[in-house]
Amino acid sequence: MSNWTKDSWKKFDIKHIPEYKDQDELDQALERLNTFPPLVFAGECKNLKSELAKAVEGKAFLVQGGDCAESFKEFNANNIRDTFRVLLQMSAVITSKMKVPVIKLGRIAGQFAKPRSSDTETVDGMTLNSYYGDSINGIEFTEKDRNPNPARLLHAYSQSASTLNLLRSFAQGGFANLRKVNSWNMGFVKASKEGKKYEEIANKITEYLDFMDAVGVDTQKVVDLNTVDFYTSHEGLHLPYEQALTRKDSLSNDVYCTSAHFIWIGDRTRFVNSAHVEYCRGISNPIGIKCGPSLDPDELIKIIDIINPSNEAGKISLIFRYGEENIVSYLPKLVDAINKHKKSVLWISDPMHGNTVKSSSGLKTRDFSSLLNETSKAIEILRSKGCHLGGMHLEMTGQNVTECTGGIYKLSDDDLNSRYHTHCDPRLNANQALELSFNIAEEMTK
Ligand code: PEP
Ligand code: CO
């Protein structure tokens, strides 16, 4: 890995990393982070990479989901449990229809830093920094809150550690036991139409388990039925933070970003000569690259050559986010370039970020049908070119929010105000996320 160091990114073109007023204060916070334990273990990142390599072959499917931005305020056990639970439900639906395992990757336990289209925001004549995510500044429109505060990085680390701790307990401690498949269906989801459809699948799974027990397989002793592997991811945007958590694996001598199993490079920071691309060049984690309309396919090939020169399968996931209208003009060219250069990539649909619109009340929203349409078109395009959709990247929550319109409950613009809680982009609620999983799994098996 020639000339790469944890901080070689500093010599490249840096975008979307905030400036701090007090450099000493920032350095002190980073020094402390440097001494903190890693949040994930290298072996887990390797496992995820090999799972993703299976998805490249069509032998697994990725579900990556969680908040657009996690917040300090909405940090509590119920929110974590509900996101985890709906991801389990989505996985059960997809596996039962597609007959492949689902790789469960949360957009969680570290998704705190946001790139913004404008550095500043003006309200009633007052101009302040934009909100850059809770690890950087506060969302309240006051000078105090909007100033980047290094102490927030330590807070974000601590919240990530606690979140991950609970997720690990859920994944390994019995909550994710397939025998509980019926009990994941709770509250407002259970009463919904998706909840009823889910119940049919859950009942079938329970019947299979009963059958296996009856023929002498003790299903309680089969590890794969009692636990799940759950992985974490976030946009690796705040490079000073990521650098402080970059560690050498003592077993392999490979370098890993240990703030999450998987990090992705956002659509605004993926370009040749980008600091973010340089940072990702040196770490062994699987990496996502967001692909939006401004990405030139030739540039993407160059970026892939930088990050994955050996063309290792499972290393690169392309998370495309063109929008329902644009997907047909952009995705085919990207697929052609990847096929021409024989790059091994996992194709992931993010139908959220190209379909954001302003509602009549001025709130940002996304309509369920545009999400479904974008992904359905992507499935077709990929198929027509001998490839396949390998997963979904969703902004979603287990809560019953009203942030995206549409779905079988036909949420309208007028409904948005009732439970609009997001700190950044609008999320699917649990019912909408489940509904989308049914739809996508059906499209995939057509
Ligand atoms: C995001 O995932 O929240 C995001 C900012 O996406 P993108 O980089 O694709 O715009
Ligand atoms: Co977002």
Say how far apart CA 181 and CA 158 lie, in whole Å: 31
267 alpha carbon to ligand 1 midpoint, in Å?
A: 6
Q: Which of 19, 53, 34, 41 is nearest to 313 (CA)?
A: 53
Residue 298 DSSP code: H
Side chain identity at residue 5, one-letter code: T
Instruction: Classify 286 as helix, strand or coil.
Output: coil
Side chain identity at residue 68, one-letter code: C
Q: What is the DSSP string of 327-393?
A: HHHHHHHHHHHHHHTT---EEEE--STTS-EE-TTS-EE-BHHHHHHHHHHHHHHHHHTT----EEE
Tell me, letter by letter, the H, E, C secondary structure of 179-193: HHCCCCCCHHHHCCH
Ligand 1: nearest atom to the Cα of 266? 8
Q: Which of 202, 59, 171 is nearest to 108 (CA)?
A: 171
Contacting residues for 428 by C-beta, under 8 A, at least 6 apart: 368, 371, 394, 395, 396, 397, 403, 404, 436
β pairing state of 120-123 and 246-248: unpaired
With 0.85 as the threshold, say if the pTM is over it.
Answer: yes
366 alpha carbon to ligand 1 midpoint, in Å?
A: 14
The CATH number of the domain covering residues in 8-176+227-394+431-444: 3.20.20.70
Residue 133 DSSP code: -
Contact by Cβ (8 Å): 280, 305 = no
Contacting residues for 217 by C-beta, under 8 A, at least 6 apart: none
Q: Which of 199, 203, 181 is nearest to 85 (CA)?
A: 181
Dihedral, 346, 405, 72, 276 alpha carbons, nearest 10 = 30
Tell which one of 130, 349, 425 to mutate to probe ligand 1, the residue whose CB is within 8 A of the most ligand atoms.
Answer: 425
Say how far apart CA 312 and CA 314 lie, in whole Å: 6
353 alpha carbon to ligand 1 midpoint, in Å?
A: 6
264 alpha carbon to ligand 1 midpoint, in Å?
A: 9
425 alpha carbon to ligand 2 midpoint, in Å?
A: 5
Contact by Cβ (8 Å): 186, 131 = no
Say how far apart CA 371 and CA 179 lie, in whole Å: 32
Residues with CB under 6 A from ligand 1: 68, 115, 235, 266-268, 290, 292, 321, 353, 425
- Cα 153 from chain centre: 20
Contact by Cβ (8 Å): 427, 395 = yes
The length of the chain, given as a count of residues: 446
Say how far apart CA 363 and CA 396 lie, in whole Å: 17
First to last CA, the chain: 44
Ligand 1: nearest atom to the Cα of 235? 2
Ligand 1: nearest atom to the Cα of 292? 9
The protein residue whose alpha carbon is closest to atom 1 in ligand 1 is 68
Say how far apart CA 53 and CA 381 lie, in whole Å: 21
Break the chain into its structural domains and give their ranges.
Answer: 8-176+227-394+431-444
218 alpha carbon to ligand 1 midpoint, in Å?
A: 44
- One digit per residue, the tens of pLDDT, for the chain of length 446 reads 789 999 999 999 999 999 999 999 999 999 999 999 999 999 999 999 999 999 999 999 999 999 999 999 999 999 999 999 999 999 999 999 999 999 999 999 999 999 999 999 999 999 999 999 999 999 999 999 999 999 999 999 999 999 999 999 999 999 999 999 999 998 888 989 989 999 999 999 999 999 999 999 999 999 999 999 999 999 999 999 999 999 999 999 999 999 999 999 999 999 999 999 999 999 999 999 999 999 999 999 999 999 999 999 999 999 999 999 999 999 999 999 999 999 999 999 999 999 999 999 899 999 999 999 999 999 999 999 999 999 999 999 999 999 999 998 899 999 999 999 999 999 999 999 999 999 999 999 99
Cα→Cα distances 58→24, 98, 217, 346, 389, Å: 49, 10, 28, 9, 8
Ligand 1: nearest atom to the Cα of 107? 2
Ligand 1: nearest atom to the Cα of 69? 3
H/E segment holding residue 265: strand 262-265
Structure token pair of residue 8: 């070689």
Structure token pair of residue 248: 């050498």
Residue 119 DSSP code: S
